[in-house]
Amino acid sequence: MNDYIKIKNIKIPIVIRSYKTSRHLKMYFKADVLYVSKPKYVSKNQVIEFIEENELKLYNQYIKIKEQGSIIKYWNTGDTFLLRGQTYIINAKKIKDKVINLQLDRENKVINIEYPIGISDEIKKENIDRAMKKLLKNHTEILLKERVPYWSRVSNINYKMFKVNDATSKFGSCIPSKKTLHFSSRLIMLPDDMIDGIIVHELCHIVYPNHSKNFYDLVRKYKPNYDDINKWLKNNGKIILF
């Protein structure tokens, strides 16, 4: 978090980032933080004008997010985090070292976080976010290397490769023509049955590149409880945000 904007007397955390490759201003929410990506040449005043032009839309999006209970993680001791559907407790500790350290204590369901003394809450969050995303990506890749080939054998649906990204709006996607699967690194936060449901969903898109009745019949063939899984994901998808 770098700053706040005020819309209808509500303070909304905002992060503004400049990119050489950006051609347009873009705005999106991650949890209850507004992210703005912009070209290098666009000034902060232009960003503010852009926000003011979209004030009502942003306000409605923010209110909806808050009503759904989506919250931002500050990684303080006592906070909770999910891994494979199980609740872990955050144990945060200040140290003299200049690096962020994360360690999983699976036996006690604890995530130990060490961070440098003296850094601001904003810098602390940004750096722990980055370290946590790396940890999630590594563990998701390890899990998918086991589960994707397994479900490929069970379904007899061949794929060429899968890739892991940091998507928060989709759990997975598929490029049927290339037989390539894409998965969110946040999958490792979900219960195992939900992860399997997502894998089967994307594999079946190789056969049916749509959401037709035939597609869902094929998904249910391998995951008979897919409707329950899909309902759970729609109701609880926000848990992957931080």
Collapsed DSSP state (helix, strand, coil) of residue 3: strand
Supply the pLDDT for residue 71. 59
Supply the pLDDT for residue 241. 78
According to CATH, where is 3.30.2010.10 located in the chain? Answer: 138-240
Q: What is the Rg, in whole angstroms, of the alpha carbon atoms belonging to the chain?
A: 20
Walk along the chain (242 residues) in steps of 10 and give the mean pLDDT of each run: 77 86 83 85 90 90 71 84 95 91 95 93 89 96 98 98 92 96 96 97 97 97 97 86 78
Supply the pLDDT for residue 237. 83
Supply the pLDDT for residue 205. 98
CA distances from 180 to 9, 36, 113, 139, 151 (A): 46, 30, 35, 20, 15
Supply the pLDDT for residue 9. 83
Collapsed DSSP state (helix, strand, coil) of residue 96: coil
Supply the pLDDT for residue 1. 42
Collapsed DSSP state (helix, strand, coil) of residue 99: coil
CA distances from 64 to 26, 58, 121 (A): 19, 10, 26
Supply the pLDDT for residue 15. 86
CATH of 138-240, one of 3.40.630.10, 3.30.420.40, 3.30.950.10, 3.30.2010.10: 3.30.2010.10
**Is beta strand 26-30 parallel, antiparallel or unpaired with respect to 80-83?**
unpaired
DSSP H helical ranges for the chain: 44-53, 55-67, 121-155, 192-207, 213-222, 226-236
